[in-house]
């Protein structure tokens, strides 16, 4: 599944990653998919909490060679 927009937050702190993800998601339309690339488990967890608290749907979480990809659908 291809994402409508992708944001790379690798090597960012949790706070920086959340700001970048939120800015990117706000640019998408309802029903669009955002892919977020990160490389830190704590950032992944914060992004998952952020998505769920805002009512977005987490479609996939994949990890390969130290990189983590999250695909999240905007629902509102």
Report the alpha-carbon distance of residue 72 to residue 47 in Å, rounded. Answer: 10
Instruction: Report whether pLDDT(1) > 80.
Output: no
Domains in the chain: boundaries: 5-73
| Per-residue confidence (pLDDT) for residue 74, from 0 to 100 | 97
Q: What's the rounded Cα separation, in Å, for the pair 23 and 1?
A: 22
Global pTM value? 0.94
- pLDDT, tens digit, 9 for 90 and up, residues 18-63: 999 999 999 999 999 999 999 999 999 999 999 999 999 999 999 9
Q: If pLDDT is split at 50, 70 and 90, which confidence band does 2 have? A: confident
For domain 5-73, the CATH architecture is: 2-Layer Sandwich (3.30)
Q: Read out DSSP for 51-63?
A: HHHTT-EEEEEEE
């Amino acid at each position: 599944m291809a994402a409508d927009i992708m944001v790379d937050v690798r090597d960012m702190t949790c706070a920086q990653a959340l700001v970048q993800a939120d800015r990117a998601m706000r640019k998408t339309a309802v029903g669009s998919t955002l892919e977020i690339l990160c490389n830190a488990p704590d950032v992944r967890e914060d992004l998952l909490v952020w998505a769920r608290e805002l009512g977005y749907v987490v479609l996939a979480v994949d990890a390969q060679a130290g990189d983590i990809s999250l695909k999240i659908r905007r629902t509102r």
